[in-house]
Every structure is written in structure tokens, then in C-alpha cells.
Amino acid sequence: MSLQTKIESIKQRYHELESQLADPSLLSDPKKMRAVNEAFAGTSLIMEIIKRHEKTQSDLQGAKETLEQADEEALKELAQAEIDLSEAQLPNIEKELMLALVPPDPMDKKNIIVEIRAGAGGDESALFATELLRAYTMYGERRGWKTELVSANRNDLGGFKEVVCSISGQNVYSRLKYESGVHRVQRVPETEKQGRVHTSTVTVAILPEAEEVDVHIEPKDLVIETTTSQGAGGQSVNTTYSAVRITHIPTGTVVYCQEERSQKQNKERALSIIRARVYAKEQERLHKEREEARRGQIGTGDRSEKIRTYNFPQDRVTDHRIKESFHNITSLMDGNLDEIIDTLKQAEVSEELEA
């Protein structure tokens, strides 16, 4: 569907809702009146952007005509100034309009569970998993989000074989949902004496935190075990049975949590991860069904998909979903991810508008 077709659709919807609000019979149905009012408020916000877009286009066209027809130099200067202003404003208004025309993902406002696992590459993969966690943590700090470690399994070099954390804040899932998938890194490891470039992989899963109303889990479907917390190499680090392992029998999902101080806290945290994983599996199934006929370019449902390559020797990060490259890896690994995320979001919006 073209941008203009979507604009016309919004205009039609706006007038329909306006007519419904003017109908006296709506007063007799409070529930329907509330729904119509909410729909009208949302459509009105989009209409405001549409009007600004159309006015800017009209101003630009008028100024161009004036510039062609004017004889006086002063009038030409005013027309050119109007052209420059309109041309500067139009791209930003069009971007704002495109974002407004795409229905929001109902999960965008959710907090997330982040699961990062080392893949091919041994110790180097585990070290890069640590760097990815640092990048996400620093990105979250800049946006005022809160990151909490849930569980971690380190190797002897201090890298993460597997790490799980929660990130909470405003619109967390809407920004980090694009990170799900396989991240490939190409660089010379610190332990490489001959200067050869190695290729390693890390898998990232971004799971929207699920409330009990989102997914219901029967207690009978859970096996809950308690144990002592484990350190590097598997040795016990305390004598109290505070760590919790929960298995969800229907899906085979297993969660181990030991970072909280009490068994109760670890159990609650483990249950929240179980809910998130079960919810994510259901969302992934629905996503695959929707994309059966048309494979989406910015799919966030397939966690086995290789999404990005970090080439350190060439100072280049390539996102394979949109076939675009970005530079300054050091800055990106310091959590400056907005350029990549904004580009992915814009590509998703464009795809939605073309659907």
C-alpha cells in the first residue's frame, strides 16, 4: 500500500469517527463511546501530521511558482528562503508521518529478558558475549533504563559462556528487539600470536517480559529444584540452597537462577524468564505463520538468523537484514547503537507501508 493510499485511508477513518461522535445514540453506549473517543484521539494525532505535511508541500510548491514568476529581487529572495525552509522541514515531517502510519507493536512498551550465549569460537566467543552485554548495558544507561543480572556462566578468562539479564524502562523492547539473532565477529584475538583473523559467533535472544495475563503456566507443568550457587568451574560458592532451577515440562524450557540473595527471589526471577520464553515461543510461531507467504526483511522472530557481522580489522559493522554497513566499531561497542537501531526501525516502517 502506497503512502498516499494510507493517508487517504486515515482521512476516511477520521471522518467516519467524527460522524460517530456526532451521533446522539452513542451516548447510550458508554463502552462504545470510550472506544470511539480513543480511536478518534489517535487518528487526530496522525491527521495533525498529515496537515503539516500537506501545508509544507503546498508552501514549497507556492514558493517555487513565486520564484519563477517574480520580477523583484526582494520577492525572489523571500521565495528562495521559503523553499529552503520547506525543503529542510519536509524530510523530517515525512519520517514522522511514516512512523505514525504504522500501527505500534503491542509489545513495544514491554521490559525485556536478554539472553546472550557464546557460539562458535570458544573463549573468543565468550569474550565477545561479554562485550555485547556491556554495549547493551551502556546503551540502557544513556536511556535511563535499569539492567539487572539474572544468571551468568563465565569461562576462565572472565568471558560469558551464557548470561541472562533483565532490562526495564520506557519502550525497551521497541529499541532492542532488532538484536535477536546470531552476531558474528571477525578479529584477531588477544591470544592469537600469529595475527590471524578468527571468526566467532554469539547468539542473542531478546524476550519481551510476559505478565501472568499474557501467558498462563500451570503449576503442575513445572519441576522446581533448589541447589547451592555455582561459581566458575562448577564449584559451590555457598552452602545455602538459594539457587533455583525450573523446568517447564511441555516446552522443555529450563531456567537456572542464582544471582538473587534468597531462594524466593531466585524462584520469582526464574518464573519470569520461563514466562518470557514460553511467550516468545508462541509469538515466534505466530510470526512464522504471518510470514509464511512473505518473508519479512526485518524479522525479529527467528533467533537462528545471522543478523550482523562485526569486522574489527576493517572497522565495519554490517547488518545483513538491510544490507547496510556502519563504521566506528569502538563507538558502537560503547553503546552508541541508535544509528543502527534507527535505520532498522525505518526499514521496518518502509516494509510495513509497502505491505
Residue with the bigger pLDDT between 230 and 310: it is 310
Task: Please give the single-letter amino acid code of residue 335.
Answer: G
| Per-residue confidence (pLDDT) for residue 263, from 0 to 100 | 82
pLDDT bin (cut points 50, 70, 90) of residue 289 is low
Task: Please give the single-letter amino acid code of residue 331.
Answer: S
| Per-residue confidence (pLDDT) for residue 83, from 0 to 100 | 95
Q: Shortest CA distance to 281 belongs to which of 256, 261, 305, 301?
A: 301
CA–CA gap between residue 306 and residue 202 (Å, rounded): 10
pLDDT bin (cut points 50, 70, 90) of residue 301 is very low
Q: Decide if pLDDT at 104 tops 80.
A: no
| Per-residue confidence (pLDDT) for residue 14, from 0 to 100 | 94
**Sheet containing 160-168: order of strands:** 146-154, 160-168, 112-118, 198-208, 181-187, 306-311, 316-319, 324-327
| Per-residue confidence (pLDDT) for residue 287, from 0 to 100 | 65
pTM listed for this prediction: 0.66
CA–CA gap between residue 222 and residue 286 (Å, rounded): 24
Residue range 176-199: mean pLDDT, rounded = 86
Task: Please give the single-letter amino acid code of residue 336.
Answer: N
Q: Which CATH number fits domain 112-354: 1.10.3720.10, 3.30.70.1660, 3.40.50.150, 3.40.50.200?
A: 3.30.70.1660
Specify the DSSP class assigned to residue 292. Answer: S
CA–CA gap between residue 343 and residue 301 (Å, rounded): 18
Q: Decide if pLDDT at 88 tops 90.
A: yes
Residue range 96-120: mean pLDDT, rounded = 85
Q: What percent of the chain has pLDDT over 70?
A: 87
Q: Decide if pLDDT at 133 tops 50.
A: yes
Residue range 52-58: mean pLDDT, rounded = 95
Residue range 179-194: mean pLDDT, rounded = 85
| Per-residue confidence (pLDDT) for residue 304, from 0 to 100 | 58
Q: Where along the chain do its domains lie?
A: 3-101, 112-354
Asked if CATH classification 1.20.58 holds for the domain at 3-101, the reply, yes or no, is: yes
Q: Decide if pLDDT at 42 tops 80.
A: yes
Residue range 188-210: mean pLDDT, rounded = 84
pLDDT bin (cut points 50, 70, 90) of residue 347 is confident
Q: Decide if pLDDT at 350 tops 70.
A: yes
